[in-house]
A and B are shown apart, each in its own frame.
Chain A
Amino acid sequence: MTEAIATIAFWVFAITTVVGALGVVLAKRVFHSAMFLVVALGSTAAIYVLLSADFLATVQVLVYTGAIVILVLFAIMLTPQSVELPAFAPGGQQVGGAVVALALLALVIAAIRTGPWPLAAQPLDQPTSFAIGQGFLTTFLFPFELASLVLLVALIGAILLARED
């Protein structure tokens, strides 16, 4: 019963993720692309919930749909020609874009096929935030702090770029 519901839910959200991702690329208006981005990111969060990664799911919504999409929308509204985009980029960019996209696809497929994907016998039905917090401040303290340092450098860089003098 629960298994069946989980499977149905997975396929529903998997399809909306893919549809949303395609919509981001194919929509004619930038604003619609941003809307599709919300769908794609939200469905990803739902898939995290199905994998009982509650902390990751809420952070996904908080950071991506909550902050990043809103920044994107804000930027779209600030651009002068906010309404229409040319349907296709000029010729040279199309070829380059296709090559990069195909290379990325090959890389991702290779990673999926060669990676060992250890599966737990059963989905962990317990809160994850405690273990994540423990991990961040003990085992993975150095990478965690390093990531903060990178963000700090990016922040200072942004302020330097924005300064007018």
Chain B
Amino acid sequence: MTIPSILNDLIGQIGALLRYLLGLILPEGLAVALVTLVGIGVAVTFVALLVMSQIWAERKVIARIQDRVGPNRVGPFGLLQSVADALKLLTKEDIVPSNADRLVFALAPLVVLVPSLMIFAVLPFNWDATIARLDVGILYVLALATLPTIGIVMAGWASYNNYTLLGGMRAAAQLISYEVPEVLSVLPIVLLAGTMSLWGIASAQQGAWFILAPIVGPVAFVLFFTAGIAEINRSPFDLPEAESEIIAGFHMEYSGMRFALFFLAEYANAFSVSAIAATLFFGGWQGWILPGYVWFVVKTYLLFLVMVWIRGTLPRLRYDQLMNLAWKIMLPLALGNVLLAALLKNAGLMELALSFGWLGMIVLLAINLVVVVILFAGYNRLFRAVRQSAGLPLLEATQPAAQAARP
């Protein structure tokens, strides 16, 4: 056994060893149950540590985008800033508004956090490191991803405040709109893989990642990632907590640890959306040389950084733009994409390309790149035509003026 393969099986080996050792002193069923519990504990601890690293990364990257330095006081490179923040939140006073519905107010952060953690049970970190290989994996994720919104609405209603109520309503409307394109954007991948299990989908990409599927892959990825960002209320879809419009929206009245739970759930969700995208489109744990779980975390982290990048670049959508995007653009695109995926599957194009090995994959990549270039060029022409017909100046016409106006 070579060293890379030992590293690759590491998590499975540790699990097997633990099960063996426990099996010596305990009955079989109890040992399996205990190992599963340990797995759950490891996953939850992993999430907490992960969120801290994500917050640090996000603050650093956003700071660079905005020409700042970011956290750099606590620990090397400000790495311990999140730890300090967590301690601060722990010691803060727990305030409940006097008119609040106390029970619903207390339950809301839990209703937000628990489903977010439950999603981690099906994430395929490696071929031997998936807590539950559910046959309905992706459906389970999509179902649980809707539940935090109930908690957000609860928080908005229970706080007895107009701004929080508005935040809750916005979250509900946003979820209802974006759930449809999200589910439809997953369907082509389920068609191509022939299974709904996340573990199975990742395994099916041994030959080629599904992002390479001509047209279908990139379109499905963009739709899924956009709808996913909208569903977890991240910028530019952060209308439920828009600071400049409704203060902090649904979590305005929360302080201390209760607020920290919302925060934890938000970043856990960001990770799980990136992880699902990495599994569906970028092959999950598939990679070369390095162990699978390293690949999985690296791919997920890169996608998370794309989210941060989007947050640093795009302004928040207006409400009508939000609804137009979901119903008039994403829904028809997703439906067409399903049709295309069925055609692709029937024609056996992926298998044909894969039979040529590396060459086939490069051809697939080239097709997709051409499609992307054509789409961008088309969008550019459309944008110019619309602005010209509306009598508005083109962007380059406004650019020198904007630059001259700078101090």
- Residues of A near any B CB (own CB < 8 A): 1-2, 31-32, 35, 38, 54-55, 58-59, 61-62, 65-67, 69-71, 73-74, 77-78, 127-129
Q: Bound state CA distance, A38 and B104, in angstroms? A: 13
Q: Is B16 an interface residue (CB 8 A)?
A: no
Q: Which of B127-167 contact A (CB under 8 A)?
A: 134-136, 139-140, 142-144, 146-147, 149-150, 153-154, 156-157, 165
Q: Are B150 and A74 in contact (CB under 8 A)?
A: no
**Nearest chain B CB to A121 CB, angstrom units:** 22
Knowing A70-B153, A73-B172, say if A61 contacts B143 (CB, 8 Å). Answer: yes
Interface of chain B, main secondary structure: helix
Q: Which of A1, A58, A69, A73 contacts B139 (CB 8 A)?
A: A58
Segment of B5-13, B17-25, B173-181, B285-293 in the binding face: B173-181
Contact status A62-B169, CB under 8 Å: no
Neighbouring B residues of A69 by C-beta, 8 Å: 150
Judging by beta carbons under 8 Å apart, are B150 and A38 in contact? yes
Residues of chain B within 8 A (CB-CB) of A38 are 150
The CA-CA distance from A47 to B134 in the complex, in Å, is 17
Q: A2-B29, A62-B142, A66-B179 are in contact. Are A54 and B150 (CB under 8 A)?
A: no
Interface residues on B, range: 20 to 34
B residues near A, CB below 8 A? 29, 101, 104, 134-136, 139-140, 142-144, 146-147, 149-150, 153-154, 156-157, 165, 168-169, 172-173, 175-176, 179, 183, 196
With most chain B CB atoms within 10 A of its CB, the pick from A55, A62, A78 is: A62
> Smallest CB–CB gap between A158 and chain B, Å?
14
Alpha-carbon distance A73/B153, docked complex (angstroms): 8
Q: Are A65 and B165 in contact (CB under 8 A)?
A: no
Beyond A35-B104, A61-B147, A129-B196, is A67–B176 a contact (Cβ under 8 Å)? yes
- Residues on B with C-beta less than 8 A from A66 are 143, 146-147, 179
- Most A C-beta atoms less than 10 A away, residue of B147, B156, B165: B147
Q: How far is the CB of B19 from chain A (nearest CB, A)?
A: 17
Q: Cα distance A61–B196 when bound, in Å?
A: 16
Does B176 contact A55, Cβ atoms closer than 8 Å?
no
Complex alpha-carbon distance, A128 and B135, angstroms: 8
What residue of chain A has the Cβ atom nearest to residue B142's Cβ? A62
Contact status A129-B136, CB under 8 Å: yes
